[in-house]
Amino acid sequence: MPKILMLQPVRIHKRWPVPEDFTGLLGASPTLAFAQLRAKLKNYEADYMDGLAREYSLAELTRRAKAVDAVLINAHSSVGALNAEANVRHILDNCPGVPIIMGGHHATVYDFQWLGRGAHFVVRNEGEETIVELLEAIFKGGSYDEIKGISWQGPGNEFHRNPPRSLIKNLDDLPIPDWGIYDKKLYHLPLPIKGYSTTAETSRGCPYHCSFCAASEMWMHKQRFKSPERVLEELRILGKLGFTKIWFADDNFGQDPERYAQIYEGILRENMKFNFVVFIRSDNIVKSPEVMRLAHRAGMRVALVGIESAVDRLLTDCSKVSEAETSRKAVEILREIGIFIGGFLMVGYLDEKQDETDTTFRAANEMTDYPIISIFEPRFGTKDFVRAKAKLDTPGGDMFYHNTEHFIPSMVHVLPQYRDFYRRYLTHPKQINKLLFGTPTQKKCYRTLYMNLAKSVLRVTPAMLANPWEMTRDIYK
């Protein structure tokens, strides 16, 4: 039986004092990608490493990559691109001959760039059907020309991009994810219920066209749903496996409130015990506050809401199709119900004025428990990338890497304001008050945040101290 290694890249480079992936401070949950792919690859022996959830030495990476016949790497964001590339290089240098297959959001848009960096194959967009055909071709010696959805390096190092593959019509046709590949002890979501944490999904994609969003492009602006019966079946299995804390990966959870009401009612009817985290739009919250109450009774404890900006001019400019007032109403509803609010906001958007930036920072403070603010960076493959490029406002050229230092040239002045915001946020008595006297979810979230922050600060090395806010190499063996 051929062997594969499923690899979430090992962190060879790290940032200090705050890690490069700020969301990671609130806990860890695995990518569902490998559990879902593994369920399609039952006739392979599979090993799994998650470099975002624990540390590994390079010697261990070498040993485990040498022991398999192919390495499958998830490349999901520009923030992780540097480490993903360092892993590819390490495997090429130390395990020659092992085919490297990449997939995920980042690999999909940067397929040729990854081939140029040494990957042998990139599986673009949805992976389940493609990986089965690709591994068969690799191990049984078929041709790659007919496999839809791959990009690959030919024998003369020439790059090929095969035609795209259609999306799976009915997500219920997917096999049940194999959550058994994950080491349960590695993951922890900051939710009050006792039990193990993991990731699941009820849908894929999002029908909207926000011009900054690469995720919606990835799924061709379509949203496909699993049926409520299928979601409940997965939840029963998760419950039996001991998972009680679930992060729903959906980009647009709750889009059809009636469908979701059936899921919540099922959870309550069967007396299933879960706490869960979701990404949900303000307009869906406002559309049906009663469904949100039901959601809370069924276990929704954290809502990650794309507020983006508190300025309607900017929301219109990025085609958000939701007004700042809608987000305010959504926040009121969530507060009243007692759901923890993680708010995504952008500052330094194209042509943003200083007073607009200030308004958004104020909104981040007022409207969220946990503000996840990004200084706007145009993502390759989006409409905003084309707009920013026309103005030469792309600090990293094609934006393959996340640029922690320079950001978009016309908005570089936002950086000190951004750091100042987080310094104040983290030390403000309001947060400490929630840590000590808040809801069980607030207590859990803030305890996790401050513990992880302390761990990050304390694990300083001389190289990190000399280069704060830079990605510094941290593994030598």
Q: Which is nearer to ligand B12, 101 or 330 (CB)?
A: 101
On the question of a cis peptide bond just before residue 17, with omega within 30 degrees of 0, the verdict is: yes
Q: If binding is defined by CB under 6 A, does position 70 make contact with ligand B12?
A: no
Residue 458's alpha-carbon distances to 105, 186, 455, in angstroms, are 32, 21, 5
Q: In whole angstroms, give the CA distance from residue 99 to residue 463.
A: 33
For residues 213-272, which are near ligand B12 according to CB under 6 A? 214-215, 249, 251
Among 44, 82, 95, 127, binds ligand B12 (CB under 6 A): 127
Phi-psi region of 30 (alpha: psi -120 to 50; beta: other; left: phi over 0): beta
Q: If binding is defined by CB under 6 A, does position 197 make contact with ligand B12?
A: no
* φ, ψ for residue 305, nearest 5 deg: -115, 130
For residues 322-351, which are near ligand B12 according to CB under 6 A? none
Least distance in angstroms from the C-beta of 101 to ligand B12: 5
Least distance in angstroms from the C-beta of 436 to ligand B12: 26
Three-class DSSP category at 119: coil
Q: If binding is defined by CB under 6 A, does position 32 make contact with ligand B12?
A: yes
CA angle 329, 23, 19 (to 5 degrees): 145
Q: If binding is defined by CB under 6 A, does position 41 make contact with ligand B12?
A: no
Output Rg (C-alpha) for the chain, integer angstroms: 22
Do 399 and 78 meet the contact criterion of CB atoms below 8 Å apart? Answer: yes
Q: If binding is defined by CB under 6 A, does position 150 make contact with ligand B12?
A: no
Among 99, 103, 348, 395, binds ligand B12 (CB under 6 A): 103
Q: If binding is defined by CB under 6 A, does position 450 make contact with ligand B12?
A: no
Q: If binding is defined by CB under 6 A, does position 357 make contact with ligand B12?
A: no
In this chain, which stretch among 18-26, 224-232, 348-356, 445-453 interacts with ligand B12, using CB under 6 A?
Answer: 18-26
Q: In whole angstroms, give the CA distance from residue 218 to residue 235.
A: 26
Among 126, 133, 317, 352, binds ligand B12 (CB under 6 A): 126
* φ, ψ for residue 257, nearest 5 deg: -55, -35
Q: If binding is defined by CB under 6 A, does position 79 make contact with ligand B12?
A: yes
In this chain, which stretch among 98-106, 228-236, 325-333, 453-461 interacts with ligand B12, using CB under 6 A?
Answer: 98-106
Residue 372's alpha-carbon distances to 51, 285, 345, in angstroms, are 22, 19, 6
Among 53, 189, 285, 375, binds ligand B12 (CB under 6 A): 53
b/e map 273-293, b = 16+ CB within 10 Å: ebbbbbbbbbbbbbebbebbb
Q: Which is nearer to ligand B12, 249 or 295 (CB)?
A: 249
Among 85, 111, 133, 201, binds ligand B12 (CB under 6 A): 201
For residues 363-422, which are near ligand B12 according to CB under 6 A? 379
Kindly determine how many residues on this chain lie close enough to bind ligand B12 according to the rule CB under 6 A. 40
Count CA atoms closer than 13 A to 149's CA, side-chain side: 21
Least distance in angstroms from the C-beta of 332 to ligand B12: 25
Please name the amino acid found at residue 233: E
CA angle 224, 225, 226 (to 5 degrees): 135
Among 14, 50, 198, 331, binds ligand B12 (CB under 6 A): 50
Q: If binding is defined by CB under 6 A, does position 101 make contact with ligand B12?
A: yes
Do 256 and 287 meet the contact criterion of CB atoms below 8 Å apart? Answer: no
Among 5, 73, 189, 341, binds ligand B12 (CB under 6 A): 73
Q: In whole angstroms, give the CA distance from residue 141 to residue 139.
A: 6
- Residue 182 structure tokens: 């994950």
Q: Which is nearer to ligand B12, 77 or 410 (CB)?
A: 77
Q: If binding is defined by CB under 6 A, does position 105 make contact with ligand B12?
A: yes
Least distance in angstroms from the C-beta of 260 to ligand B12: 16
Q: Which residues bind ligand B12 (CB under 6 A)?
A: 8, 21-24, 29-33, 36-37, 50, 52-53, 72-74, 76-77, 79-80, 101-106, 123, 126-128, 131, 199, 201, 214-215, 249, 251, 379
